[in-house]
Structure 1
Amino acid sequence: MQSPVYIQIHNRIKKDIEDGRWQVGDRIPAERELAVTFSVSRMTLRQAVQTLVDEGILERRVGAGTFVASQKVQERMSGVTSFTDVMLAQGKRPSSRTVSYHITNPSLSEVEQLGLKDGQQVLRMERVRYGDEVPICFEVAAIPLDLIQGFNKSEVTRSLYHVLETKGGYKLGGAQQKVSAVTASERIAKYLDVKRGDAILRLRQVSFLGDGRPFEYVRTQYVGGRFEFVLDRK
């Protein structure tokens, strides 16, 4: 199975950065120019670039263009907590709307973050998560396919963590989390009912099973005024 075109472009740009074609702080060519280079529509090119922005590899600067992102200061939060549990703990009714759900070849970033071997595929799904029917966040999650072979779509989209524990018999471990501030793209603004350019909190997280295996790489964008992160220091 061939990866979607935007993922193929994502991989080529990411490799170019890793190979030193563009350094930290360098401005990459304009979307129009890159679309011509890759012989794709600007919409497809924009999707590839936005995926790299969501991963923190690129960053957009209003009125200036798109640049190779610099390393951010990282703050580690503790534990793995499902969105469902967080909402229930706050007395809110959790729900979600699945935007896309498909089995595919992983991107280079997903291979690296999930420690995948050649030939392994992932389930990649996009969801809008709600608390009391108010959109809280938009997430893109990649999960190794072999971990969820026995689960159906409704189980995975309703609460992945719960089904892994109750049906899969897996023990959940810790997570590596990175939080940064970004602005809402036009697409994300529509899903979260905010304005394009509004402040958004971006969480990139790799979640691990109790035996240390990564089971999820998720990029989530939260509406800043509807959600806050609490850091526990032991």
Structure 2
Amino acid sequence: MQSPVYIQIHNQLKQDIEAGKWHVGERIPSERELAVDFSVSRMTLRQAIQTLVDEGILERRVGAGTYVASQKVQEKMSGVTSFTDVMLAQGKRPSSRTISYHVANPSISEVEKLKLKDDAQVLRMERIRFGDGVPISFEVATVPYDLVAAFSKAEVTRSLYHTLEKKGGLQLGGARQMVTATLASEKIAEYLDIKRGEAILRLRQVSFLNDGRPFEYVRTQYVGSRFEFYLDR
């Protein structure tokens, strides 16, 4: 199964950055230039760039272009908590709307984060998450397909964590989380019913089973005015 074109471009750009073609803080070529270089549409190229931005590899600067991101200070947060549990704990009704749901070859980033074998496939899904019908976040979650192959789409999208625990008999462990601030793109603003350029909290998280195996790589963008993180020390 061949990866989508935007994933192939993502992989090539990530490899170029790691090889030192562009250094931290350096501006990469414009989307127009890169689209010509890769012989793809601006839309496809923009999707590849956005994936790298969501992963914290690139960063957009308003009016200045796209740059190789500098490493951010990371704050450790405790535990793995599902969105469903967070909403229920606050007395809100959790729900979600699935934007896309498909089995695919993993990107280089997904292979690295989930420690996948060369022939592994992943389930990649995009969802808008709601609390009492109000959009809270947009997430792109990637899971090793062998972990969820036996479950229905409804079981996975309703609450992945509950399904893995209750039906899969798996024990969830900890997570590695990175939170950064950004601004809502036009696409995210439409999904979350906010204005383009509003404050967004972006979470990148790798979640682990109790035996240390990574089972989920998720990139989530939260509406800054509707969600906050707190740390237990």
Shorter-chain TM-score bucket reads over 0.9
Which residue in the other structure is 2:199 paired with? 199
Which residue in the other structure is 1:221 paired with? 221
Matched letter for residue 2 of structure 2 = Q
Q: Secondary structure at the match of 1:225?
A: coil
Tell me by how many angstroms 1:68 deviates.
0.1
Tell me by how many angstroms 1:52 deviates.
0.3
1:16-27 mapped onto 2 (5 Å cutoff): 16-27=16-27
Which residue in the other structure is 1:105 paired with? 105
Which residue in the other structure is 2:52 paired with? 52
What's the TM-score, normalizing by structure 2? 1.00
Which residue in the other structure is 1:164 paired with? 164
Matched letter for residue 38 of structure 1 = F
Q: Secondary structure at the match of 1:47?
A: helix
1:57-136 mapped onto 2 (5 Å cutoff): 57-136=57-136
CA distance in 1: counterparts of 2:22 and 2:115, whole angstroms: 25
Give 4+ residue runs of structure 1 displaced > 6 Å after superposition.
none
Unaligned runs of 5+ in 1: none
Tell me by how many angstroms 1:210 deviates.
0.4
CA distance in 2: counterparts of 1:177 and 1:137, whole angstroms: 16
Matched letter for residue 112 of structure 1 = E
Tell me by how many angstroms 1:58 deviates.
0.1
Tell me by how many angstroms 1:149 deviates.
1.4
Which residue in the other structure is 1:189 paired with? 189
Q: Percent identity?
A: 79
Which residue in the other structure is 1:137 paired with? 137
CA distance in 1: counterparts of 2:196 and 2:47, whole angstroms: 16
Which residue in the other structure is 1:15 paired with? 15
CA distance in 2: counterparts of 1:88 and 1:32, whole angstroms: 45
CA distance in 2: counterparts of 1:206 and 1:3, whole angstroms: 22
**Over residues 54-87 of structure 1, what are the superposed CA-to-partner deviations in whole Å (9 max), with x where a residue is unaligned?**
0000000001000000000000100000000000
| RMSD of aligned Cα (Å) | 0.4
Q: Secondary structure at the match of 2:219?
A: strand
**Over residues 19-71 of structure 1, what are the superposed CA-to-partner deviations in whole Å (9 max), with x where a residue is unaligned?**
11010001000000000000000000000000000000000000100000000
CA distance in 2: counterparts of 1:198 and 1:217, whole angstroms: 25
What's the TM-score, normalizing by structure 1? 0.99
**Over residues 187-231 of structure 1, what are the superposed CA-to-partner deviations in whole Å (9 max), with x where a residue is unaligned?**
111000111111100000000000000000000000000000011
Q: Secondary structure at the match of 2:111?
A: helix
1:34 matches 2:29: no
